[in-house]
Amino acid sequence: MSQLIPIAKITGRPIPLRGNDIDTDRILPARFMKAITFDGLGQYAFHDARLDAEGKSRGHVLDDPKHQAKGPRVALVNKNFGCGSSREHAPQSLLRWGVKGIVGESFADIFFGNCVALGIPCVTASEADIAALMAAVEADPAHDLVIDLGTMTVTYLGARYPVSMPDGARQQLLEGTWDATRILLDALDQTRATAARLPYVAGFKG
């Protein structure tokens, strides 16, 4: 069974992904889901926004020479990021591209849950702070950004921004229970008892 890995801090070079309502089809087009593993999905992140029909670069930020840092990355996003399809393939592709944490104005529910299950903290900041962060990063991207789930702050170039996250998810990351399988299996007896109390589980037998 998996190890408990607490996640309190994410440090990485920031990458700004501007735009509201960026859906998971945009993050990972469906044709790249035709596989029985998640391996190799990193190369397809934002594929159709990055490349035209001839395979030439459209100049997407992921291909911008000034944003090609190696190592862990932190994405900066606007509102309702990850809406649409529940495909975990989308956060898996971002993770494999290098994204270890995301700071945004808001996240779609299923995407947020998928990220927690992968140990990717998604924290929210105010519209003004996201605008300031994106501007700072676009002006000078060559520094590490830090998401601190202990103090609930994001720091970049010496400036600190308050961020939020629902308590449950924050606790899961801090305690290392974000990979929920073990926690859920701990209560298998209670689960069986709950099932036994639900009349439909036994087909409403008298």
Partner 1 sequence: MGKSLLDKVWDAHTVRELPAGQTQLFIGLHLIHEVTSPQAFQMLREQGLKVAFPDRTIATVDHIIPTDTEARPFADEQAEGMMSAIERNCREFGIRFLDRSSGQQGIVHVIGPELGLTQPGITIACGDSHTSTHGAFGAVAFGIGTSQVRDVLASQCLALQRPKVRRIIVDGTLAAGVYAKDVILHIIRSLGVKGGVGLAYEYGGGVFDRMTMEERMTVCNMSIEGGARCGYVNPDQRTFDYLRGREFVPKGDAFERGVAWWRSMASDDDAAYLDVVRLDGSRIAPTVTWGINPGQAIGVDERIPTPDSFSADDREVAEDAYGYMDLKPGAPIKGTRIDVAFIGSCTNGRLSDLREAAKVAKLGKVKPHVKALVVPGSQAVAKAAEAEGLPEIFKAAGFEWRLPGCSMCLAMNPDKLSGRQVCASSSNRNFKGRQGSPSGRTLLMSPAMVAAAAIEGAVADVREMLKALKAGC
Angle between helices 109-117 and 167-175 (to 10 degrees): 10
Give the whole-angstrom CA distance, residue 129 versus residue 13: 17
Q: Name which of 48 and 144 has its Cβ closer to partner 1.
A: 48
How far is C-alpha 90 from the geometric centre of its chain's CA atoms?
A: 9
Closest CA to 90 of 104, 102, 79: 102
Q: 155, 132 in Cβ contact below 8 A? A: no
Question: Looking at this protein, which amino acid is placed at residue 51?
Answer: L
Q: How many CB atoms lie within 10 A of CB 90?
A: 29
Query: Least separation, in Å, of the C-beta of 69 and partner 1?
Result: 27
In the complex, the smallest distance separating the C-beta of residue 121 from partner 1, rounded to whole angstroms, is 14
Shortest distance (Å) from residue 46 CB to partner 1 = 11
Shortest Cβ distance from residue 117 to partner 1 (Å)?
4
Residue recorded with tokens 């070079």? 13
Which of 69/110 has CB closer to partner 1? 110
Output 159 or 193, the one with its CB closest to partner 1.
193
Nearest approach, Cβ of residue 150 and partner 1 (Å): 14
Beta strand pairing call for 153-156 and 159-162:
antiparallel
C-beta of 47 vs 73, nearer to partner 1: 47
Q: How many CA atoms lie within 13 A of 91 on its CB side?
A: 27
Smaller CB separation from partner 1, 7 or 172: 172
Side chain identity at residue 108, one-letter code? A
Per CB under 8 A, residues contacting partner 1 are 1-2, 19-21, 23, 25-26, 29-31, 33-38, 47-49, 53, 79-80, 83-89, 91, 106-110, 113-114, 117-118, 166-172, 175, 179-181, 183-185, 187-188, 190-191, 194-195, 197-201, 203-206
